[in-house]
Structure 1
Amino acid sequence: MRALVLASLGSLTGFPSIANAAETIVTKAPMAFLFEPGSGTILFAKEPDKPFAPGALVKVMTAATVFKALKDDELKLDQLCKVSEHAWRSGGAPSGRGATMFAAIKSEISVEDLLKGLLVHNGNDSAIILAECLDGSEDAFSKRMTDLAQTIGMTNSKFANPTGYPEVPSQTTVRDQARLGEYLVEEHDDLYPMFAIPEFTWNKIFQRNKNPLLGEIRNLDGLGGGNDPNDGFSGLGSVDRNGRRVIASVAGLTSDKHRLQTLKEVLEGAWDYFIVKTVFTAGETIADGRVHGGVESTVPLVSTRNIDVLLPNGETLEYRIRVVYEGPLQAPVEEGTKAGEIRVIGKDGIVYRAPVVTGQSVAEGTLFSRAIDGLQELLFGWIG
């Protein structure tokens, strides 16, 4: 068996143009990525895999790691965590290192309140307390963070601590950050609203949400921002507007104002420059897959859902459609068997992919027909 790549099925054309509108997003951000998780479409990418140190943006990954532990029943929301001297000195008021929830030394705080302290107060002490509560140390928790990142597809990320302190910086990319946002929205929809809690009072101290992006971008409900002394300001934003969610990540900015302006430009671009195009409807034949040893030599390959792709407005689009599958398929073939995937390919690579399945069953052929197929494969190979 070998991978067969079917020839391009054509270019996508015929979109209405928007007068006086740019064809795509333009941003001065050194790194930017815009993703639409509903269809899996990459809308914009600029240096998507260039590494940067995320600073306090790390706390989004810290939250994701705790969310995963809660989902796996390793922690409970009402479980109490003790505030160690290390957490108090390194992340609390005595540290003098900025954001804190002012957790008192040797006190016990619930996981739920610590998560609010992390996501509303941006508390460094919250991050350390959660790390120690789950794994006993920041180092062990950081390994858990990195392992989870690899598991969910953040292949170019490594986390050194739960706070984002720069002494030993973490590393990530804007593509990986967008993947993190998608993971949180899709896998932890019950806890995701914590990112948008407007304020939280702890120990009689009232603090508003310190996410610098909330309230500044319409319909934004997460996720966070960071700043590294060497790599500058970065941000990760998620917007749900009229049933469409997009996630954007930017990095390498010179100031918090520059970050906000850039992230707003990128996120708004999803509505300014893109429309939904239904490339294929559910059940429509996308391509024919070759079959070995069957009563039929081919089987239709279809999608189980509409192939809806967000693509730029314009009269002509340089996008190609391909189907990739492992073939030939061995008879008997059952209808609905996953066979490969459809890919929409732009100038910067694959912008959309979705699985394809067999659209009908193919019974096993006669001994003679199977022998002929075997001889053909031996002499000529299979051509898709």
Structure 2
Amino acid sequence: MPFHSRTGGLRRAAAVLSLAAFGFATPAPAQPAFETAAPHAILIDYNTGTVLYEKAADQKVPPASLAKLMTEEVIFDQLAKGKVSLEDTFTVSQRAWREGGASSGGSTMFLPLNSRVSLGDLIKGIAIQSGNDATIVVAEGMAGSVEGFARMMNEQAKALGLKDSHFMNSHGLHDPAQHVTMRDMSKLATHIIREHPDHYKVFSQAEYTFNNIVQQNRNPLLAMGGGTDGLKTGYTKESGYGLVASAERDGRRLILAMMGMKSIAERKTESERLMEWGFRSFEQTVVLKDGEAAGEARVTGGAVSTVALVPKGPVTVTQPRGTDVKVTRNVAYQGPIEAPVKKGAPLATLQLTINGKPLREVPLYAAADVEQGPLWWRAVDMAGGYVSSGAGWVANEITTRVMSAWNGEPATTGSTAPAIPAPAPASPKL
């Protein structure tokens, strides 16, 4: 590498590279506003996190059986940590049988009293049959009590950033102190899909048979097709009819959360309308292809002076069909970045804005290894930022001597130190 390419001084603490702005234009007019009869709703694009529609999404409401999504999340988390296994069995207690069984009048898995049931079966009974008894068996088996399990639910909610949700039980039956928001429920669904893809598949199962009883999945969108593959319905008289659903079409996934509808029929109609509107009215545009570099970061003391920055997978933005948008990309990183650098190391952030408004941030990673350079290259990097000062002269002298020694040359530089002005004469005494 030429010597001059190694110089350039120390990078400032926060280096920001502005990349060229570019626009995407489509000829059709902007989509009209959408309205739903649901009192509380939010629709988001899973891939980009873009909110496509929201209505009172931050208002706290009783969760009903949507609380079972957090019950399942706690189970999935404990499975991932190796604390439990799908083969573990738990006993159906008097409380589970009485409060969640057939005599309770609520949704149930019809678990026999004092029987032992595997965690794998209980997961299905909660996701597909919405069994209140199954959630109590899980709570008692994993935490000793429903109350203890609720503490686990709240700890997990806090860890996931669900700041407006609080749980008092594992099944969602009404408690005045228990509440969620539709925004939090959409975040929870996003997390389950992303972090537990194998377990997420259970939410798409159309029916489940246990104890010789066949029960259908209560999600109305599953039977309608359209790519729906989860998640959960809910109802109490205090909450009204609710739903958290997800559907994927042509590589796009939308997540819908809504609550407060007046009937099963209204829930079915409004959820279908909102999901269809989301797929029809918005599209995704690729900002960066998989493996495409977003920019480069300067590297200090390396065999090369820069490293390419790439995302993990393609980067897309969601926009209304028929609108002219200008997407601006900025790459920000904390510098200087010192060699060695490992491929895949997180180094920077891609900041996306649309028409001047912040949209999303995407992590960027080193596209290749950067090994440390020879000693004299590293010395150049160290000295480069001080060439205009006396300290810089000293650093350059050291650098030149190191380079001469490296090449077997006499350690003479032919340079002179910058002149140091003589002190001013003392003022005469009067």
TM class by smaller structure: 0.7 to 0.9
What residue identity is the alignment partner of 2:173?
Y
Gap change, CA 1:332 and 1:112, over 3 Å in 2: closer
What residue identity is the alignment partner of 1:154?
L
Aligned length in residues:
372
Deviation of 1:362 after TM superposition, in Å, equals 8.4
**How many Å separate the matches in 2 of 1:160 and 1:8?**
49
- Alignment of 1:69 with 2:81, yes or no, is no
- Alignment of 1:257 with 2:269, yes or no, is no
**How many Å separate the matches in 2 of 1:373 and 1:352?**
34
Deviation of 1:353 after TM superposition, in Å, equals 3.1
Greater strand fraction, Structure 1 or Structure 2: 1
Kept after mapping to 2: 8 A contact 1:55/1:170: no
1:88 corresponds to = 97
2:254 corresponds to = 246
What residue identity is the alignment partner of 2:75?
V
1:381 corresponds to = none
Q: Secondary structure at the match of 2:179?
A: coil
2:24 corresponds to = 13
- Alignment of 1:199 with 2:207, yes or no, is yes
2:110 corresponds to = 102
For residues 139-179 of structure 1, the C-alpha deviation after alignment (integer angstroms, 9 at most, x for no partner) is 11112122223334434433221110112443333333223
**How many Å separate the matches in 1 of 2:34 and 2:326?**
16
**How many Å separate the matches in 2 of 1:27 and 1:53?**
20
Superposed, which structure 2 residues align to 1:179-328 within 5 Å? 179-216=187-224, 218-289=226-297, 300-317=308-325, 319-328=327-336
Q: Secondary structure at the match of 2:266?
A: helix
1:52 corresponds to = 61
1:137 corresponds to = 145
- Report the TM-score when normalising by structure 2: 0.73
Deviation of 1:131 after TM superposition, in Å, equals 0.9
**How many Å separate the matches in 1 of 2:387 and 2:238?**
63
Instruction: Percent identity, please.
Output: 31
Correspondence for 1:373 among 382, 385, 405: 385
**How many Å separate the matches in 2 of 1:182 and 1:278?**
21
What residue identity is the alignment partner of 1:257?
A
Gap change, CA 1:346 and 1:27, over 3 Å in 2: farther
**How many Å separate the matches in 2 of 1:35 and 1:280?**
21
Kept after mapping to 2: 8 A contact 1:299/1:362: no
User: Please, what is the CA RMSD of the aligned residues?
Assistant: 3.4
For residues 178-211 of structure 1, the C-alpha deviation after alignment (integer angstroms, 9 at most, x for no partner) is 2322332233333323223323333343332233
**How many Å separate the matches in 2 of 1:110 and 1:366?**
61
For residues 228-276 of structure 1, the C-alpha deviation after alignment (integer angstroms, 9 at most, x for no partner) is 5455433110113344332222234444333333322332234212223
What residue identity is the alignment partner of 1:91?
G
What residue identity is the alignment partner of 1:84?
S
- Alignment of 1:342 with 2:354, yes or no, is no
Gaps of 5+ in 2: 1-11, 389-430
For residues 296-324 of structure 1, the C-alpha deviation after alignment (integer angstroms, 9 at most, x for no partner) is 87655443543233322224126543333
1:147 corresponds to = 155
1:355 corresponds to = 363
Gaps of 5+ in 1: 377-384
Kept after mapping to 2: 8 A contact 1:57/1:226: yes
Larger radius of gyration: 2
Deviation of 1:129 after TM superposition, in Å, equals 0.9
Q: Secondary structure at the match of 1:190?
A: helix
Kept after mapping to 1: 8 A contact 2:72/2:123: yes
2:421 corresponds to = none
2:414 corresponds to = none
Deviation of 1:279 after TM superposition, in Å, equals 1.3
